[in-house]
């Protein structure tokens, strides 16, 4: 192993295992579709009739964002940069608490289908449309990085068609139960890699020892430098907020936990999901350390056996598992299960926001049967778009970082807008709009700048890799790898502007906090200057704290005043009257 050169290709059994697992996953989805065929309402399709329980929802939550990006990207992260990424276990705990205790009660009790309905309740319709559009753009763009490095176009199209079929026929219930199976397949792929690697290397102790001497186990760095790619602070502070922005307000996640039958089940699903994330990232890290132990003397990337870092794990699988027919097929099924999970959840969420935020307001006369046909038609449309984008080769380098950069750039300002709405009753719709635009402008500026001018090696801190043990006729004379970012800079030289080595070198995990801070501060300042506030928030925010039954029984009484603008005295009087009604009730 690890001597360079060609590795085996897929055998017949690998194709059989791969096809069997993907078809079985599709079968689960179709079974749910057939079982629930009598339930044709839009709520049943988009929210599973709000009758789901915590465990399948938790597994589905984990599968959706840990997806193909994690299966391919996280082991490569450990291989090239070490185990600092393991610190995300702290981020997952903080994110789960924020989501479960602040956002789940809000969205669950509002009984909304689209997360962005809240923005219209609190601010106005324009912000709802902007929020929905940002989500659609982010989802379609980020789907492109889910399968980069696996050059299997025929398989991609075939699995995409299967995915579209069960999403179209089965709705959210089919997506969730298929995710449960796909999660098991993803974890099995990691276990197979670790177990085989341990056998080849003489035990996990040898893998751990190689990783230690290779500098891969230097996990904790308390360097406060915001330009450093990964440190305790960038991961725990920046990473927590970035993941919170995905789990607290992202439609594909919110749609899952509000499908639970009770609020307690919805909260529990997030805490169980936290444990699922811990297990997944730990197995992914161990897979990366196994890969380092095997290739420490012959790096496939430097040796030109692979063309990109996200092809390292597929290369390893074919290298060490090819003599066991079917196991490479299991791994590729794991990677594609992740992709299917991401795409299927994206399809269902995109359908939900399109129907709830655009079509229902525009055509309120649509019947349930017409909505059902629209739901299915949109599933096919978005499925084709997502699969097409997923097949486009990414130009963004590290797929893990690329995906998280996109999430941070777009979700950060959006989370800032939600925080303005929930925590600051003085903020009006003008402040919310200007804050959101300001935050998005800043994050796109730094994010695009970081792509055009990658940070210098002393900030990314890629660890050295050797090719001394490689046996190949076209070997380079050098024996150690130059960090990938340096390779990019030397192969495509370009003048670096003054901002490149400071502002554009900001850790990608800080994109989200920067977006939140800019959005909140700008929103507060603009609201203070414009000085007008609607009553909307007095009603929406207090739903979490006061008895909700009055509002749920007769929402029109509460929402009739939403778009009126009042003076401070009028607001105080109406707020008092509102609270008295709630108390009496």
Chain position carrying tokens 């751990």: 208
Q: Which of 65-69, 115-119, 179-183 has the lowest mean pLDDT?
A: 65-69
8-state DSSP, 473: T
- Residues 364-381: tens digit of each pLDDT: 777 777 887 887 788 778
Question: How much is the average pLDDT of 11-31?
Answer: 78
Looking at per-residue pLDDT, the higher value among 57 and 32 belongs to 57
User: Is the Cβ–Cβ distance between 332 and 14 less than 8 Å?
Assistant: yes
Question: How much is the average pLDDT of 211-227?
Answer: 86
Q: Residue 198: pLDDT band by 50, 70, 90 thresholds?
A: very high
Question: How much is the average pLDDT of 225-231?
Answer: 85
CA distance 245 to 342: 17
Whether the per-residue pLDDT at 348 is higher than 80: the answer is: no
Q: Which of 304, 281, 389 is nearest to 342 (CA)?
A: 389
Question: How much is the average pLDDT of 458-482?
Answer: 60
Buried b (16+ CB within 10 A) or exposed e, 116-147: bbbbbbbbbeebbbbbbebbbebbbebbbbbb
pLDDT at position 377: 83
pLDDT at position 484: 35
Domains of the chain plus CATH, in order, are 12-412 (1.20.1730.10), 532-585 (no CATH)
pLDDT at position 8: 56
Question: How much is the average pLDDT of 126-151?
Answer: 67
- Residues 564-573: tens digit of each pLDDT: 444 445 545 5
Looking at per-residue pLDDT, the higher value among 574 and 226 belongs to 226
pLDDT at position 156: 61
Looking at per-residue pLDDT, the higher value among 152 and 285 belongs to 285
Question: How much is the average pLDDT of 47-71?
Answer: 72
- Residues 315-332: tens digit of each pLDDT: 888 888 888 888 887 777
Q: Residue 214: pLDDT band by 50, 70, 90 thresholds?
A: confident
Close Cβ partners of 11 (under 8 Å, ≥ 6 residues apart): 322, 325, 328
């Amino acid at each position: 192993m690890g001597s360079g050169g060609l590795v085996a290709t897929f055998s017949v059994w690998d194709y059989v295992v791969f096809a069997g697992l993907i078809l079985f996953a599709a079968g689960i989805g179709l079974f749910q579709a057939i079982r629930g065929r009598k339930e044709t309402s839009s709520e049943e399709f988009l929210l599973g009739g709000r009758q789901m329980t915590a465990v399948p929802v938790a597994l589905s939550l984990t599968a959706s964002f840990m997806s193909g990006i994690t299966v391919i990207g996280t082991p490569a992260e450990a291989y090239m940069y070490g185990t600092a990424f393991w610190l995300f276990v702290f981020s997952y705990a903080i994110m789960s608490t924020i989501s479960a205790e602040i956002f789940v009660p809000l969205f669950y009790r509002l009984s909304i289908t689209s997360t962005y309905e809240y923005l219209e309740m609190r601010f106005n319709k324009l912000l709802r449309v902007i929020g929905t559009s940002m989500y659609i753009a982010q989802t379609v763009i980020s789907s492109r990085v889910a399968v980069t490095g696996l050059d299997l176009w025929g398989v991609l199209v075939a699995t995409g068609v299967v995915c579209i079929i069960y999403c179209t026929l089965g709705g959210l219930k089919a997506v969730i139960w298929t995710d449960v199976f796909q999660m098991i397949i993803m974890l099995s792929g990691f276990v197979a890699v670790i177990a085989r690697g341990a056998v080849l290397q003489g035990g996990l102790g040898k893998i751990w020892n190689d990783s230690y001497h290779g500098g891969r186990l230097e996990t904790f760095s308390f360097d406060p430098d915001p330009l450093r790619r990964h440190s305790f602070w960038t991961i725990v502070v920046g990473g927590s907020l970035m993941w919170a922005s995905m789990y607290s307000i992202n439609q594909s996640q919110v749609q899952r936990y509000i499908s639970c039958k009770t609020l307690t089940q919805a909260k529990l699903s997030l805490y169980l999901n936290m444990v699922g994330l811990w297990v997944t990232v730990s197995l992914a890290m161990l897979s990366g350390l196994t890969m380092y132990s095997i290739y420490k003397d012959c790096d496939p990337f430097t040796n030109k056996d692979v063309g990109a870092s996200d092809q390292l794990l597929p290369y390893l699988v074919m290298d060490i598992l090819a003599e066991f027919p079917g196991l490479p097929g299991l791994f590729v099924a794991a990677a594609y299960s992740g992709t299917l999970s991401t795409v299927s959840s994206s399809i269902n969420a995109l359908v939900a926001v399109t129907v709830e935020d655009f079509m229902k307001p525009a055509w309120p006369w649509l019947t349930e049967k017409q909505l059902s046909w629209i739901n299915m038609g949109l599933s096919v449309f978005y499925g084709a778009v997502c699969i097409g984008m997923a097949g486009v080769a990414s130009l963004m380098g590290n797929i893990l970082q690329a995906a998280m950069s996109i999430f941070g750039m777009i979700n950060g300002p959006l989370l800032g807008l939600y925080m303005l709405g929930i925590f600051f009753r003085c903020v009006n719709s003008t402040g919310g709009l200007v804050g959101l635009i300001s935050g998005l402008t800043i994050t796109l500026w730094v994010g695009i700048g970081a792509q055009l001018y990658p940070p210098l090696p002393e900030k990314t801190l890629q660890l050295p890799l050797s090719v001394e043990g490689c046996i190949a006729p076209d070997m380079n004379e050098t024996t150690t790898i130059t960090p990938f970012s340096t390779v990019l800079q030397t192969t495509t030289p370009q003048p670096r502007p003054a901002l490149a080595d400071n502002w554009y070198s900001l850790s990608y995990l800080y994109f989200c906090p920067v977006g939140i801070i800019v959005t909140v501060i700008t929103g507060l300042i603009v609201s203070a200057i414009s000085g007008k506030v609607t009553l909307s928030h007095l009603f929406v925010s207090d739903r979490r704290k006061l008895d909700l039954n009055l509002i749920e029984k007769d929402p029109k009484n509460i929402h009739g005043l939403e778009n009126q603008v009042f003076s401070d005295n009028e607001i105080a009087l109406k707020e008092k009257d509102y609270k008295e009604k709630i108390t009496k009730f």
